Amino acid sequence: MECEVCGRPIGKPHIVIIEGAEMKVCSHCARFGSPSEKKASIRKTRRASSSWIPYTKPIEAPEFVENYGEIIRKAREAMSLTREKLGEKISVKESVIARLETEKMQPNVKLAKKLEKALNIKLFEETHEEDIKTQKATKEELTLGDIVKIKKKS
**Mind listing the pLDDT tens digit for each residue in 49-88?**
555 566 666 666 678 888 899 999 999 999 999 999 999 9
**Residue 45 is assigned to a structural domain of this protein:** no
Tell me the whole-structure pTM to 2 decimals.
0.46
Laid out side by side, the sheet with 21-25 consists of: 21-25, 14-18, 34-35
CATH code of the domain in which 107 resides: 1.10.260.40
**Residue 102 is assigned to a structural domain of this protein:** yes
E strands along 7-57, which residues?
14-18, 21-25, 34-35
**Residue 82 is assigned to a structural domain of this protein:** yes
**CA dist 126 to 63, 108, 136, Å?**
8, 17, 29
**Residue 30 is assigned to a structural domain of this protein:** no
Domain, as residue range, for 88: 63-125
**Residue 121 is assigned to a structural domain of this protein:** yes
Helices (H), 4-108: 68-78, 83-90, 94-101
**Mind listing the pLDDT tens digit for each residue in 105-147?**
888 889 999 999 999 999 887 665 554 444 444 556 767 777 7
Half-sphere exposure of 66 (CA within 13 A, CB side): 0
Structural domain count of the chain: 1
**Residue 8 is assigned to a structural domain of this protein:** no
**Residue 67 is assigned to a structural domain of this protein:** yes
